[in-house]
Structure 1
Amino acid sequence: MKSTFDQIEDIKKNGFSLDFATVFNHAFENYKKIALYSGLIILVLTIIIVMAYMGIMIAYFGFESLKEDYLKEFTNQNFTVVELLMQTIGFSVLAALIAPFSAGFLKMADSADKDVEFNVSTMFYYYKGKYFTQIFVAAIITAIIGNLFSNLIKSLNIPFGDVIAIAIPYIITYFVYLSTPLIVFGNLTAIESLKASISIVTKNPLNIFAFFIIGFLGSLVGLVACCIGIIFTVVFNSSMQYATYFAIFGTESEEEDSIDSIGKYDID
């Protein structure tokens, strides 16, 4: 059986195909298994984070910092180059620290798919060992590049600059769509996973884009339910990401021999 590296080389040479209905159905069925549990976890963590944020803002800036006018003024102010750089680094580090938690949804999806029991600790599984380092590095590289280009576009004051600046991080995220699954399931390093994801996406850009968009929009469906519903739908994106990777490579748990995983699943 072929290793992940060999499969990637085959994809580079021959490309691959995906059946839309199969991937979507797999993602949706998997989502139904993890939606409620993951939603409750996110709800509890969201309450804790909001309370901590409010406490910090009040401690440093007073109660005025919680008013809408104050937040608008802070958002619209012109930052210096140094401030923008510090802001970019700060947001990038924060994104990288959250990335292993997001990867926990993939672990949960994998466990649900294999009918393996999962719990709260599953969400924090990738904050240990080699996984944390590689996920953190991949995430911070992606975030820094996205934020730098986004801030650069904003500073140029070009037509539709704000729209382009908002789109850039999403475009980059699209090309590295499979980087985290390649780390946690394919045992690739951060750099290897980023390069491999770009190669895979560019071999079948339309299908991957469709899954990327559907996963993103599906995760926002909860906004129609008084906004709080997004807590229970946001995980759909992870389920779609998992199903996409599954359809291309097949998955076994990272403790199992990844060489044996390919060939167990049909790829159209």
Structure 2
Amino acid sequence: MKSNKDRIQELKTNGYQLSFEAVFNLAFENYKKIVVYAGLLFLVSAVLLGMLAFVIIAFTFGIENFQEFIKPENLDPNNFSDEFLMIYIGSVTLFSCLVSPFFAGIIKMAHCAEIDEEFHVSTAFQYYQFQYFKSLFLATLLITILNMGVSSVVDLSGLPILGFLASLAISLLNVLTVPLIIFRDFKALEAINTSFTLVSKQPLVLLGLLTVTYLFCITGVFMFFIGLFFTLPLLYSMYYAIYKSIIDFE
């Protein structure tokens, strides 16, 4: 039996075949198994984070100042100071890094559902263990910095659409990064590099799968917005299905 490293090296060298229909069906069947549990987790987490954000804003800026700040005329990015923009970008980046283990836990939940293994609320938080947390945190940080750097350089061309496409490409190329960390114990840089290489073998099929998935998730916005929390789990079932279809498990 090939080792993990040998299997992945073979995929890097020889590529692989991927069926759009097979991967999507796998993801959707998996989604039906986790949608209620994962959807409620997303909903409760969003409510708790919203309450926490409100408390922090209330103590930091005061309610009256915050109400003044969120007026439409004050939300023009051109009016923001460089200091505020740096704080904002830093805060968003830090938040993304801190919640990345939670999203990794949803992918793990999808795996448990696939193999008929019982999962719990704790499953969504199991990757806050230091051995995984450090790699997930660093990978998210590096991808975010790369994304912002490339988008900023491309935006200098004066065509914002190019910045969006560059950001989309980086996100696509990293679709296997988190699964490689949590299922193969890859370090951050190794996972990013391997994901880039493997995704580049079948970019159009993977782009099609993720595009359809994102469109499905967006439909949740039209279901009183709360539906978004119950369509979003399909995205993580798709991440899992892509990993399983390309690399699989021993």
Which has the higher mean CA deviation after the structures are superposed, 53-62 or 192-201?
A: 53-62
Q: Which residue of 1 aligns with 2:10?
A: 10
Q: Which residue of 2 aligns with 1:96?
A: 97
Give the deviation of 1:56 after TM superposition: 2.0
Question: Which one of the candidate residues 237, 240, 251 is aligned to 2:238?
Answer: 240
Distance of aligned partners of 1:63 and 1:212 in 2 relative to their CA distance in 1, 3 Å threshold: same
Give the deviation of 1:62 after TM superposition: 2.6
3-state SS, counterpart of residue 38 of structure 1: helix
Q: What CA distance in whole angstroms lies between the structure 1 residues aligned with 2:68 and 2:50?
A: 15
3-state SS, counterpart of residue 117 of structure 1: coil
Q: What CA distance in whole angstroms lies between the structure 2 residues aligned with 1:167 and 1:179?
A: 19
Give the deviation of 1:217 after TM superposition: 2.1
Structure 2 regions of 5+ residues with no counterpart? Answer: none
Q: Which residue of 2 aligns with 1:32?
A: 32
Give the deviation of 1:86 after TM superposition: 4.2
Counterpart AA for 1:231 = F
Q: Which residue of 1 aligns with 2:58?
A: 58
Give the deviation of 1:165 after TM superposition: 3.4
Q: What CA distance in whole angstroms lies between the structure 1 residues aligned with 2:136 and 2:47?
A: 25
Q: What CA distance in whole angstroms lies between the structure 2 residues aligned with 1:115 and 1:199?
A: 31
Counterpart AA for 2:63 = F
Give the deviation of 1:53 after TM superposition: 1.5
Q: What CA distance in whole angstroms lies between the structure 2 residues aligned with 1:73 and 1:151?
A: 23
Q: Report 1:1-268 matches (<5 A).
A: 1-64=1-64, 65-66=66-67, 69-70=70-71, 73-79=74-80, 83-154=84-155, 156=156, 158-161=157-160, 163-251=161-249, 261=250
- Post-superposition Cα deviations, 1:86-131, rounded to whole Å, max 9, x if no partner, equal 4433322211111101101111001111111111111101000311
Counterpart AA for 2:117 = V
Give the deviation of 1:151 after TM superposition: 4.0
Distance of aligned partners of 1:133 and 1:159 in 2 relative to their CA distance in 1, 3 Å threshold: same
Distance of aligned partners of 1:116 and 1:125 in 2 relative to their CA distance in 1, 3 Å threshold: same
Q: What CA distance in whole angstroms lies between the structure 1 residues aligned with 2:58 and 2:85?
A: 23
Distance of aligned partners of 1:217 and 1:3 in 2 relative to their CA distance in 1, 3 Å threshold: farther
Maintained 8 Å contact 2:69/2:75? no
Structure 1 regions of 5+ residues with no counterpart? Answer: 252-260, 262-268
Q: What CA distance in whole angstroms lies between the structure 2 residues aligned with 1:84 and 1:62?
A: 20
3-state SS, counterpart of residue 2 of structure 1: coil
- Post-superposition Cα deviations, 1:156-181, rounded to whole Å, max 9, x if no partner, equal 3x4332x3334433321111110000
Q: What CA distance in whole angstroms lies between the structure 2 residues aligned with 1:233 and 1:72?
A: 33
Q: TM-score, normalised by structure 1?
A: 0.85
3-state SS, counterpart of residue 226 of structure 1: coil
Q: What CA distance in whole angstroms lies between the structure 1 residues aligned with 2:68 and 2:86?
A: 26
Q: What CA distance in whole angstroms lies between the structure 2 residues aligned with 1:10 and 1:123?
A: 32
Which has the higher mean CA deviation after the structures are superposed, 67-76 or 181-190?
A: 67-76
3-state SS, counterpart of residue 213 of structure 2: helix
Q: What CA distance in whole angstroms lies between the structure 2 residues aligned with 1:122 and 1:84?
A: 35
Q: TM-score, normalised by structure 2?
A: 0.91
Distance of aligned partners of 1:3 and 1:75 in 2 relative to their CA distance in 1, 3 Å threshold: farther
Q: Percent identity?
A: 34
Give the deviation of 1:79 after TM superposition: 4.4
Q: What CA distance in whole angstroms lies between the structure 1 residues aligned with 2:196 and 2:181?
A: 14
